[in-house]
Amino acid sequence: MPQPGSTEERSLAHWAEQGRAGMEAFYALAAEDYRQMVAARDWAADLRAHARDGRVRVLDVACGSGKFPAELQRQGLAADLGDVRVEIDLLDPSAFSLAEARSVLEAPFTVRAEHEVRIQDLPADVGDVDVAWATHALYAVPPHEIGVGIARMVAAQRPGGFGAIVHARSDSHYLRFADAYRATFSPDAVPFTTAEQVRDALTRAGVVPEVTTIRYDVGHPDRAVIEGFLQRCVFDDSVPLARMEVEGPVADYLAPLLGSDGYRFTQLVDVIVWEVPA
């Protein structure tokens, strides 16, 4: 279980009905994450290549509100898959997130199972999945536990199965802002997990990760939207933007990112894929 006061616990508190306003502000910018990752590779080809008997079973790790499969749907995945059916296992420690993800899924997805657990606690009897993915999903997993989580994710895949993790690098906005925020307002907080740590964990789990890095900017002219986005980035809505702009390392981080059209943040994101040895 998450430790009291940990990043994991704060994350869970925000994945709840009372956090919906912050979630919507966050996705005003973060929706670009999903557009970019869907454009980064031919996901339909990945699913078709790993289907068995006309269906492919997917484990969606830390599924959140289902933004990744929803964007795949929006971009025409059903037509690209033809007759292949996608049976999805939703995994998330938040019952709210499971319900949100379930509510947005349409063809070609059908929900096969739900697992209300952290990836570190995934039961060993969840297995034989053809595809496992985690998209902007593992930041709150403590760095000292990411190895356990990745090992369980890989163990749930069948031999020859396909895996993908999309995660920001240490030099991306998500990680740089979290580090600056922690140094300013929460020095005892556990750092976020980075893409570099995910890659190392995959290697230790016995697979060979292949990495493509994508770069893009997100921004918004509305200060209220920016405030909600930044608060959600660190799962802490107690510090207003006006305070962030004048205090400590977080102010130093934000200052050069403000232009005439508002704040712009640069994301550097690794699309990490692998196949489990047959």
Helix, strand and coil in the chain, % to nearest 5: 45, 25, 30
Mean pLDDT of the chain: 92
User: How confident is the prediction along the chain (278 residues), in pLDDT tens digits per residue?
Assistant: 545 455 656 555 555 566 666 667 788 899 999 999 999 999 999 999 999 999 999 999 999 999 999 999 999 999 999 999 999 999 999 999 999 999 999 999 999 999 999 999 999 999 999 999 999 999 999 999 999 999 999 999 999 999 999 999 999 999 999 999 999 999 988 999 999 999 999 999 999 999 999 999 999 999 999 999 999 999 998 999 999 999 999 999 999 999 999 999 999 999 999 999 98
Question: At 132, is the secondary structure helix, strand, or coil?
Answer: strand
Burial of 103 (0-12, 13-18, 19+ CB in 10 A): exposed
Q: Whose structure tokens read 């994450």?
A: 33
Q: Whose structure tokens read 């297995």?
A: 127
- Give the pairing type, strands 85-91 and 157-168: unpaired
Question: What pTM value is reported for the model?
Answer: 0.93
Q: Report the candidate in 201, 203, 200 with the shortest Cα–Cα distance to residue 120.
A: 201
pLDDT at 26: 84
Quickly list H helices, 121-244: 146-155, 173-185, 195-204, 223-233, 241-244
Contact predicate 1/130, CB 8 Å: no
Q: Whose structure tokens read 């049976």?
A: 87
Print the SS3 string covering 230-265.
HHHHCCCCCCCHHHHCCCHHHHHHHHHHEECCEEEE
Query: What is the C-alpha to C-alpha distance for residues 276 and 127, in angstroms, rounded to an integer?
Result: 13
Report, in angstroms and rounded to the nearest whole number, the Rg of the chain calculated over CA atoms: 18
What are 271's strand-pairing partners? 166, 212
